[in-house]
C-alpha cells in the first residue's frame, strides 16, 4: 500500500497530548494518528447515517451522546 | 505491508491443521449445517409437525439430562449455553432454538447434530423416518416422572436411532 | 484499491497437492462478482433448504449476505482481504481496527485487530460440499490478519467471534476463549501479543 508523508503543525499542548497518548496506547505517533482517523471516520459515518454514538458509565449506566460537528 | 509468514510455513501448517470449519464473524447463511434434499426421504413439513418435533426435542434434552443426573443449571454451565434458552427448549415447543444452542447440545450429549437441528425446526425439510421415530418417542415418554428403567430403555433406543448413520444423512 | 500482498498456497484436496494462490488487501469488482455469481447462489440454495431458523430467530438472511459487502465497500475503517486461487475468490476477510479493544491482560484496553468476518467459499467447506476443494483459506487469512495488525502496530492483538462449528479451530491456534457474548450470540476469542508471536513462529 502506498504511503505518503505530510508535515503536521501542532501546538506544544497538542504535541504533548500526542506523545502522551502514543505512549499510553503503545504505538508510534503515526500509528496513533492512523487509529484516531479510523475512529473519527467510523463515528462520523455512523452519525451521518442517523445513528447515535454514546459513552456509558459502567456503574451508573449514565449515557452521554457523542456529538460530531 | 509485509506478510509475516512464508510459503513453506503455510505448507507445513496447512498439512497438519485439522480439517475443520474456520468461519468467524457471522454465518453467511442462517445455519450452515446442511444436507441434501434429493430423493423423497426428506420432505417439507408443516408448522404443526414442527411443534411435534420440538416436543420430542424438549423431552429428549430433559431425559438426557436426567440420565446424566444433571440439573438444568449444570447442563447450561457445562455446555456453555444460557439457562433460559435451555429451559425454553425443554418446555416450550413454540420456541425456536438458536443454531449455537443446538450445536452445543449435540456436542455435549453426543447426539447427531443433523437430527437435532431437524427436531428443533431449524429446517424446512426433515427426514420422514426421523419424524416418525421422534413422534413415537415423545408419545411413549412420560412428561414429568423421573426416568424409569423402561423409560431409559426407550431413551437409549431413540438415541441409537438418532446416531445411526443413514445413506443420505450427509454431514453431522 | 486492491493491492497484492504476496503469493501463498492452498491445499487442493482433490489432487492432494498445494496450488499457488495470492492474498490481496482491498477487493475489486472481480471479488464482488465472484461473490455474487459463485458464492451467493450456493448460499441462497442452502438457505432456501434450511432457512426457517434464520428467518425466525435471526431476522432477514438476505441482509446477512450483503451486510459485509456493503461494509467493505463503504466504510473506510474496515479493511477487506481476499485469497484467490485459479482466478477465483476462495476466501474473504473483513477487519475493523477502530472500534475494538483487547479484553485480555496484560494489554487490556489497547487497540485490537478485530476480525469482523472470515469466510471460505462454499465449495471449500464441509458444511456445504461433500467433496470440498481447498483447505487452508482460514489459516492464510488469519496469518494475513496478524501480519496486518502487526504492520499497524497493534502487535498481534486479535479478536473475533467464532461460529459454533469453528470453535474447535481457534483454541488450539492460541486464541483464548473469553466466553459467550450475548450481543453477538457467539463465543468471543482473543489472541494476545505473545500468542500471536508463537502462532507466527
Chain segment B5-31, per-residue pLDDT in tens: 999 999 999 999 999 889 888 655 433
> In terms of pLDDT, which residue wins out, B46 or B43?
B46
> In terms of pLDDT, which residue wins out, B158 or B124?
B158
Specify whether the CB–CB gap between B22 and C138 falls below 8 A. Answer: yes
pLDDT at C18 over 70: yes
Binning pLDDT at 50, 70 and 90, where does residue B129 land? confident
Q: How far is CA B164 from CA B103, B130, B159, B161, B172, in A?
A: 18, 11, 9, 5, 11
What proportion of chain B, given as a percentage, has pLDDT over 70? 77
What proportion of chain B, given as a percentage, has pLDDT over 90? 30
The stretch A41-52 carries a mean pLDDT of 82
Model ipTM value: 0.88
Q: Which residues of C touch B19 (CB under 8 A)?
A: 126, 135
Which domain CATH number covers B155?
Answer: 1.10.260.40
How many A/C residue pairs have CB atoms within 8 Å?
39
Name which of B114, B67, B62, B69 is nearest B88 in CA terms.
Answer: B62
For Cα atoms C55, C56, C58, give the angle at the middle one, nearest 5 degrees: 70
Binning pLDDT at 50, 70 and 90, where does residue C75 land? low
Which domain CATH number covers C12?
Answer: 3.40.630.30
Angle, to 10 degrees, between the axis of helix B47-67 and the axis of helix B83-91? 120
Binning pLDDT at 50, 70 and 90, where does residue B172 land? very low
Exposed (0-12), middle (13-18) or buried (19+): which is C67, by Cβ within 10 Å?
A: middle
Specify whether the CB–CB gap between C75 and C120 falls below 8 A. Answer: no
Specify whether the CB–CB gap between C122 and C128 falls below 8 A. Answer: yes
Distance CA C172, CA C189 (A): 11
Q: What is the pLDDT of residue C152?
A: 92
Specify whether the CB–CB gap between B122 and B31 falls below 8 A. Answer: yes
User: For testing the chain C interface, which of B21, B82, B108, B167 should be mutated: the one with the most C CBs within 10 Å?
Assistant: B21
Q: Test B28 with C65 for CB contact under 8 angstroms.
A: yes
- C165 vs chain B: nearest CA distance in angstroms? 6
The stretch A52-61 carries a mean pLDDT of 80
The stretch B137-164 carries a mean pLDDT of 82
The stretch C34-56 carries a mean pLDDT of 64
- B21 vs chain C: nearest CA distance in angstroms? 5
The answer as to whether B74 is a domain residue is yes
The answer as to whether B82 is a domain residue is yes
pLDDT at C103 over 60: yes
Q: What is the CA radius of gyration of chain C?
A: 17
* Full residue range of the structural domain in which residue C90 is found: 3-200
pLDDT at A69 over 60: no
Q: What is the pLDDT of residue C76?
A: 63
Binning pLDDT at 50, 70 and 90, where does residue C55 land? very low
The answer as to whether B122 is a domain residue is yes
Q: How far is CA B165 from CA A11, B54, B104, B114, B162, in A?
A: 72, 22, 20, 11, 8
- B149 vs chain C: nearest CA distance in angstroms? 35
- A38 vs chain C: nearest CA distance in angstroms? 5
Q: What is the pLDDT of residue C138?
A: 96
| Cell numbers describing residue C152 | 499497524
Q: Is A34 on the interface with C (CB under 8 A)?
A: yes
DSSP C154-166: -TT-EEEEE-GGG
Specify whether the CB–CB gap between B93 and B62 falls below 8 A. Answer: no
DSSP H or E stretch at residue C128: none
The answer as to whether B37 is a domain residue is no
Exposed (0-12), middle (13-18) or buried (19+): which is A51, by Cβ within 10 Å?
A: exposed
Q: Is C64 on the interface with B (CB under 8 A)?
A: yes
Q: Test C110 with A31 for CB contact under 8 angstroms.
A: no
Mean of the per-residue pLDDT values of chain B: 79
With H, G, I as helix, E, B as strand and everything else as coil, classify residue C94: strand
Q: Which residues of B touch C143 (CB under 8 A)?
A: 3-5, 10
Counted domains in chain B: 1
Q: What is the pLDDT of residue B84?
A: 93
* Full residue range of the structural domain in which residue B133 is found: 44-163
With H, G, I as helix, E, B as strand and everything else as coil, classify residue A58: coil
Query: pLDDT for B70-90, tens place per residue?
Result: 999 999 999 989 999 999 999
Counted domains in chain C: 1
What proportion of chain A, given as a percentage, has pLDDT over 90? 39
Distance CA C121, CA B28 (A): 10
Amino acid at each position: 500500500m502506498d504511503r505518503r508523508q505530510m508535515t503536521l503543525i501542532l501546538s506544544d499542548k497538542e504535541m504533548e497530548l500526542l506523545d502522551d497518548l502514543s505512549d499510553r496506547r503503545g504505538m508510534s505517533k503515526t500509528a496513533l494518528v492512523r487509529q484516531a482517523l479510523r475512529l473519527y471516520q467510523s463515528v462520523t459515518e455512523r452519525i451521518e447515517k442517523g445513528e447515535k454514538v454514546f459513552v456509558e458509565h459502567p456503574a451508573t449506566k449514565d449515557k452521554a451522546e457523542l456529538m460530531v460537528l | 505491508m509485509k506478510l509475516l509468514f512464508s510459503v513453506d510455513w503455510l505448507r507445513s501448517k496447512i498439512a497438519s491443521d485439522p480439517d475443520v470449519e474456520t468461519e468467524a464473524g457471522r454465518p453467511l447463511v442462517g445455519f450452515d449445517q446442511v444436507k441434501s434434499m434429493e430423493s423423497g426421504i426428506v420432505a417439507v413439513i408443516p408448522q404443526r409437525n414442527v411443534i411435534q418435533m420440538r416436543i420430542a426435542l424438549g423431552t429428549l434434552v430433559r431425559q438426557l439430562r436426567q440420565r446424566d443426573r444433571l440439573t438444568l443449571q449444570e447442563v447450561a454451565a457445562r455446555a456453555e449455553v444460557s439457562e433460559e434458552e435451555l429451559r425454553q427448549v425443554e418446555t416450550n415447543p413454540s420456541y425456536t432454538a438458536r443454531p449455537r444452542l443446538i450445536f452445543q447440545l449435540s456436542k455435549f450429549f453426543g447426539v447427531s447434530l443433523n437430527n437435532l437441528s431437524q427436531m428443533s425446526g431449524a429446517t424446512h425439510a426433515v427426514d420422514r423416518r426421523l419424524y416418525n421415530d421422534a413422534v413415537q418417542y415423545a408419545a411413549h415418554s412420560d412428561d414429568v416422572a423421573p426416568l424409569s428403567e423402561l423409560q431409559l430403555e426407550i431413551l437409549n433406543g431413540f438415541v441409537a436411532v438418532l446416531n445411526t448413520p443413514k445413506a443420505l444423512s450427509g454431514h453431522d | 484499491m486492491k493491492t497484492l500482498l504476496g503469493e501463498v498456497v492452498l491445499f487442493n484436496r482433490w489432487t492432494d497437492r498445494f496450488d499457488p494462490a495470492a492474498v490481496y488487501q482491498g477487493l475489486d469488482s472481480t471479488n464482488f462478482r465472484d461473490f455474487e455469481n459463485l458464492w451467493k447462489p450456493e448460499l441462497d440454495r442452502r438457505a432456501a433448504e434450511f432457512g426457517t431458523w434464520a428467518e425466525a430467530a435471526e431476522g432477514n438472511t438476505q441482509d446477512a449476505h450483503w451486510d459485509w459487502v456493503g461494509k467493505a465497500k463503504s466504510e473506510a475503517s474496515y479493511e477487506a482481504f481476499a485469497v484467490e486461487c485459479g482466478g477465483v475468490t476462495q476466501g474473504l476477510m473483513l477487519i475493523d481496527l477502530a472500534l475494538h479493544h483487547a479484553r485480555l491482560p496484560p494489554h487490556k484496553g489497547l487497540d485490537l485487530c478485530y476480525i469482523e468476518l472470515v469466510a471460505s467459499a462454499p465449495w471449500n467447506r464441509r458444511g456445504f460440499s461433500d467433496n470440498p476443494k481447498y483447505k487452508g483459506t482460514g489459516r492464510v487469512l488469519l496469518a494475513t490478519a496478524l501480519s496486518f495488525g502487526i504492520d499497524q502496530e497493534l502487535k498481534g492483538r486479535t479478536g473475533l467471534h467464532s461460529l459454533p462449528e469453528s470453535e474447535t479451530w481457534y483454541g488450539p491456534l492460541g486464541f483464548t476463549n473469553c466466553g459467550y457474548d450475548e450481543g453477538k450470540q457467539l463465543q468471543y476469542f482473543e489472541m494476545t501479543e505473545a500468542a500471536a508471536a508463537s502462532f507466527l513462529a
